[in-house]
Amino acid sequence: KTQVEQSPQSLVVRQGENCVLQCNYSVTPDNHLRWFKQDTGKGLVSLTVLVHENDKTSNGRYSATLDKDAKHSTLHITATLLDDTATYICVVGDRGSALGRLHFGAGTQLIVIP
Amino acid sequence: EAAVTQSPRSKVAVTGGKVTLSCHQTNNHDYMYWYRQDTGHGLRLIHYSYVADSTEKGDIPDGYKASRPSQENFSLILELASLSQTAVYFCASSDATGTNSDYTFGSGTRLLVI
């Protein structure tokens, strides 16, 4: 059963527009949540890590929120650039110990057009 | 620059043949992982290791073996490749598994079994 669901599956925006990506999960315990960016044919690159209830993070044009009560996270991308075209993957870590596992969503494919 | 390098970048294998995927990291990380990525699905953990000469089963280990001869190197072995093992394989390393862990992913190996 999929424990990390992302929406939308794909999204097309015009350069300069803002967009919001959603992540809902059922992983328990939910120690932390990460957002990764995966360019086509490349590995995953970490964008941000959220840990605490109602955490908010900001990394340049990327910002993210976490609601642990709702088991929900959002990734906001402001003023999109063509280089933002990629798949964005939500990942939930189930504990902070050496036995911790990462649970991956299938990703949201973002396409930024001129 | 710290990195995870995978080889080969892509491979075509014959059903029933042996396939070895290699991974080398220069991060001085203790943990290394092998994941597979199938279209429309999140990454799934095959094998991992937290120390040289020791490997652990992940969530989908059947049909795969792993070898960690040194801290830097981690191989994934398919003794009898099958059609269902066609996928993109990612190697990753981390210094720990908790919230402050630094995860680095390789660029992936695209395996086609025919």
The DSSP output letter for B109 is E
Asked whether the predicted pLDDT for residue B100 surpasses 80, the reply is no
In which band, very low, low, confident or very high, does the pLDDT at A13 lie, cut at 50, 70 and 90? very high
Please write the tens of the pLDDT for every residue from B54-95. 999 999 999 999 999 999 999 999 999 999 999 999 999 998
Q: How far is CA A60 from CA A47, A66, B12, B16, B99, in A?
A: 10, 18, 40, 48, 21
Distance of CA B73 to the CA centre of its chain: 10
Is the Cβ pair B99, A41 closer than 8 Å?
no
Asked whether the predicted pLDDT for residue A101 surpasses 90, the reply is no
Tell me which chain B residues have a C-beta less than 8 angstroms from the C-beta of A35: none
* Angle subtended at Cα B59 by Cα B57 and Cα B65, rounded to the nearest 5 degrees: 40
| Nearest CA-CA partner of B32 in B8, B5, B11, B60 | B5
Select the more confidently predicted residue: A65 or B98. Answer: A65
Is the Cβ pair B50, A98 closer than 8 Å?
yes
Asked whether the predicted pLDDT for residue B34 surpasses 80, the reply is yes
Is the Cβ pair A101, B41 closer than 8 Å?
no
In which band, very low, low, confident or very high, does the pLDDT at A16 lie, cut at 50, 70 and 90? very high
A11-15, A48-52, B33-37, B75-79: which has the minimum mean pLDDT? A48-52
Residues 6 or more apart in contact with residue B104 via CB below 8 angstroms: A43, B2, B3, B4, B25, B27, B29, B92, B93, B94
Tell me which chain B residues have a C-beta less than 8 angstroms from the C-beta of A4: 42
B52 CB near a chain A CB, below 8 Å?
no
Give the pLDDT mean for B20-31.
95
Give the C-alpha separation, B61 to B39, whole Å. Answer: 19
Structure tokens at A67: 């609601």
In which band, very low, low, confident or very high, does the pLDDT at B2 lie, cut at 50, 70 and 90? low
Is the Cβ pair A31, B98 closer than 8 Å?
yes
* Closest in A34, A43, A104 to B107, CB measured: A43
Q: What is the percentage of chain B residues whose pLDDT exceeds 70?
A: 96
Please write the tens of the pLDDT for every residue from A47-67. 999 999 999 999 999 999 999
A29 CB near a chain B CB, below 8 Å?
no
